[in-house]
Amino acid sequence: MIDKLIEKIKKTHAPIVVGLDPMMNYIPEHIQKKAFAEYGETLEGAAEAIWQFNKEIVDHTYDLIPAVKPQIAMYEQFGIPGLISFQKTVDYCRQKDLVVIGDIKRGDIGSTSAAYAAGHIGTVKVGSKEYMPFGEDFVTVNPYLGTDGVKPFIDVCKQQKKGLFILVKTSNPSSGEFQDRLIDGRPLYELVGEKVAEWGRDCMGESYSYIGAVVGATYPEMGKILRKIMPKSFILVPGYGAQGGKGADLVHFFNDDGLGAIVNSSRGIIAAYKQEEYAQFGEEHFAEASRAAVKAMAEDIDSALKRNK
Amino acid sequence: MIDKLIEKIKKTHAPIVVGLDPMMNYIPEHIQKKAFAEYGETLEGAAEAIWQFNKEIVDHTYDLIPAVKPQIAMYEQFGIPGLISFQKTVDYCRQKDLVVIGDIKRGDIGSTSAAYAAGHIGTVKVGSKEYMPFGEDFVTVNPYLGTDGVKPFIDVCKQQKKGLFILVKTSNPSSGEFQDRLIDGRPLYELVGEKVAEWGRDCMGESYSYIGAVVGATYPEMGKILRKIMPKSFILVPGYGAQGGKGADLVHFFNDDGLGAIVNSSRGIIAAYKQEEYAQFGEEHFAEASRAAVKAMAEDIDSALKRNK
């Protein structure tokens, strides 16, 4: 799957991923109204609005991008109906041949991590039958429990040719509270980064490992160091746009081959129509605003990478 | 909710929680057969078997215990049908007046943690209506992202009178890989424990904070230190029984008032009928074996606490 991701990045010239994290206040009124007319102001109504919103954005952007990253929390908050919309979104994006990164940030003790891995990127057995429940291509994983919490995910990746992005340095303001603490003179996130490199060593695709890392765009200097610690790991970079990251901050997350990183933007793309820059599209044409925002983001990153050569 | 938990612990004389983590191989054949006859060997069939298994265990133990802890991964692995069984289990346990600890180990950046908190222990708005999607009483939270990842959960707890158990030192063998690393001469888990105490300070019930911690039974010496660092935090202690912890190891997780900890057992109770000790019940009467195992566990902890006085 890492090879497919890289191939699609090369084809689209866009090392970007669209974060499908639909907050209700991003969803245009006409979509909400239609969903509520059909299902009432219910969890089912909210879930339908999310699904219709996602579908329209995917339809307007899938040819420009290699991957999407639905954030499962935004669906899980609406209970079972919300999770059905998550499932529909994953299925639809796979039909469109997009690589799907499930942003689930799971992580637990061994047997429990194994269950999460089976459910999201693997298969489960029921009697004599086998099923693929959620079917994402990659998932994000929390490393706080150590190797035996991460290993079951890696095992499933090996069997299924799937991949991981493991949290190393997150994009949020207080990520440093634990992640930056010095251990033998070096921050915790570097030790986690070293583990990611080690775990990924025997999980190689053609040129990169399918065990990747999450490193926030908001910490470019740390990205530079982590890039060296994990030379063969793909880095998923959240925090572009709304969280403050810019194209110029991102060059050090990439290797000299122009690869090695994929940058996520959520709000900046899916709610682009709310920005002054794209206001001319109007709420009705929100997905066209998203398409324009994808193009601008790809251009911003591409020119930053070129300037850096 | 912490006050209700304590009241129920005092009433049952059992500071224990039954982990509803149903692996398919724990579920007796007659239950699986019946579920598959009705739904086929499908995800729905697996989910039905889990639900019937849980229901019978709850029916046979609810009067002896204060709380249950369903591990969501064991349901999530069967996709949407599995999560519907999780929901049914939570609802049923609440009907039985049990305190429900959702073992979800979520944790993300601010807005995303807020969505998890709303979905599991809070409410969501849809238009003019408000819903409580999953409705657990407590959830477990992963602290790797720091304060701004945990704070949204705390905010919801304050509004809704719910509670948290934050991962401090987990029960698995490689938990030390990051959690034990020394920072200024002290292990990371102590710093996390200090944060838990700090976060919990303005979240007090009558005698304990509703912001608690997870500390594995497999590390009693660390439990002793963490008990002192977080005097007002309830400690959820996994790892009893199958993972190797015994009653005698647990005394230091408790305060002198005999409170302050609640010990989880999953496999040791829900799959008790598979142990030699309870084999006389037979697979047919698995839930009676669970009841006997609950009594033995309560007795083991109670006598350890008495010996320690």
Of A105, A115, A182, the CB nearest to B73: A115
* A73/B145 touch (CB, cutoff 8 Å), yes or no: no
Min distance A69 CA to chain B CA atoms (Å): 13
By C-alpha distance, the chain B residue nearest A87 is B80
> For residue range B7-34, what is the model confidence (pLDDT) as tens digits?
999 999 999 999 999 999 999 999 999 9
Mean pLDDT of all residues belonging to chain B:
96
Of A24, A142, A192, the CB nearest to B107: A142
- Is the pLDDT at B67 greater than 90? The verdict is yes
Min distance B12 CA to chain A CA atoms (Å): 29
Average pLDDT score over residue span B139-147: 96
Rounded-to-integer distance, Cα A237 and Cα A169, Å: 10
* B118/A79 touch (CB, cutoff 8 Å), yes or no: no
How does A232-241 read in b/e, with b if 16+ C-beta sit within 10 Å?
bbbbbbbbbb
> For residue range B45-66, what is the model confidence (pLDDT) as tens digits?
999 999 999 999 999 999 999 9
Residues of A in contact with B115 (CB under 8 A): 73-74, 76-77
* B172/A145 touch (CB, cutoff 8 Å), yes or no: yes
Min distance A294 CA to chain B CA atoms (Å): 22
What is residue B20's predicted lDDT score, i.e. its pLDDT?
98
Phi and psi (nearest 5°) for A108? -160, -170
Rounded-to-integer distance, Cα A164 and Cα A126, Å: 25
User: Looking at the annotation, which residues of A are catalytic?
Assistant: 105
Of B80, B146, B178, the CB nearest to A191: B178
What DSSP designation does A196 have?
A: H
Assess contact for B178 and B170: CB atoms under 8 A: no
What is residue B244's predicted lDDT score, i.e. its pLDDT?
66
* B76/A119 touch (CB, cutoff 8 Å), yes or no: yes
3-state secondary structure chain B: CHHHHHHHHHHHCCCEEEEECCCHHHCCHHHHHHHHHHHCCCHHHHHHHHHHHHHHHHHHHCCCCCEEEEECHHHHCCHHHHHHHHHHHHHHHHHCCCEEEEEEEECCCHHHHHHHHHHHHCCEEECCEEECCCCCCEEEECCCCCHHHHHHHHHHHHHHCCEEEEEEECCCHHHHHHHCCEECCEEHHHHHHHHHHHHHCCCECCCCEEEEEEECCCCHHHHHHHHHHCCCEEEEECCEHHHCECHHHHHHHCCCCCCCEEEEECHHHHCHHHCHHHHHHCHHHHHHHHHHHHHHHHHHHHHHHHHCC
Q: Would you call A300 helix, strand, or coil by DSSP?
A: helix
Tokens of A303: 């020119």
Residues of A in contact with B125 (CB under 8 A): 24
Average pLDDT score over residue span A199-206: 96
Encoded amino acid at B60, one letter: H
- Is the pLDDT at B243 greater than 80? The verdict is no
Min distance A307 CA to chain B CA atoms (Å): 32
- Is the pLDDT at B309 greater than 90? The verdict is no
Assess contact for B106 and B73: CB atoms under 8 A: no
> For residue range B263-304, what is the model confidence (pLDDT) as tens digits?
999 999 999 999 999 999 999 999 999 999 999 999 999 999
What is residue B246's predicted lDDT score, i.e. its pLDDT?
78
Sequence-separated (6 or more) residues with CB below 8 Å from residue A115: B73, B74, B76, B77
> For residue range B105-127, what is the model confidence (pLDDT) as tens digits?
999 999 999 999 999 999 999 99
Rounded-to-integer distance, Cα A263 and Cα A198, Å: 23
Of B46, B126, B172, the CB nearest to A126: B46
* B71/A32 touch (CB, cutoff 8 Å), yes or no: no
The residue to which tokens 């807005």 are assigned:
B111
What is residue A238's predicted lDDT score, i.e. its pLDDT?
94
The residue to which tokens 């890696």 are assigned:
A154
Average pLDDT score over residue span A168-189: 94
* A178/B167 touch (CB, cutoff 8 Å), yes or no: no
Residues of B in contact with A181 (CB under 8 A): 183, 188, 191
Average pLDDT score over residue span B62-76: 98
What is residue B239's predicted lDDT score, i.e. its pLDDT?
87
> For residue range A206-249, what is the model confidence (pLDDT) as tens digits?
999 999 999 999 999 999 999 999 999 999 999 887 666 678 88
- Is the pLDDT at A57 greater than 80? The verdict is yes
Average pLDDT score over residue span A52-79: 98
* B175/A146 touch (CB, cutoff 8 Å), yes or no: yes
Mutation for B interface: A84, A140, A145, A240, most B CBs within 10 A? A145
User: Looking at the annotation, which residues of B are catalytic?
Assistant: 105
The residue to which tokens 């909400």 are assigned:
A32
Min distance A166 CA to chain B CA atoms (Å): 12
* B124/A174 touch (CB, cutoff 8 Å), yes or no: no
Rounded-to-integer distance, Cα A86 and Cα A54, Å: 10
- Is the pLDDT at B169 greater than 70? The verdict is yes
Q: Would you call A276 helix, strand, or coil by DSSP?
A: helix
Quote the crossing angle between the two packed helices B43-61 and B79-95, to the nearest 10°: 20
Of A43, A127, A174, the CB nearest to B147: A174
* A172/B182 touch (CB, cutoff 8 Å), yes or no: no
What are residue A265's DSSP bridge partners?
A18
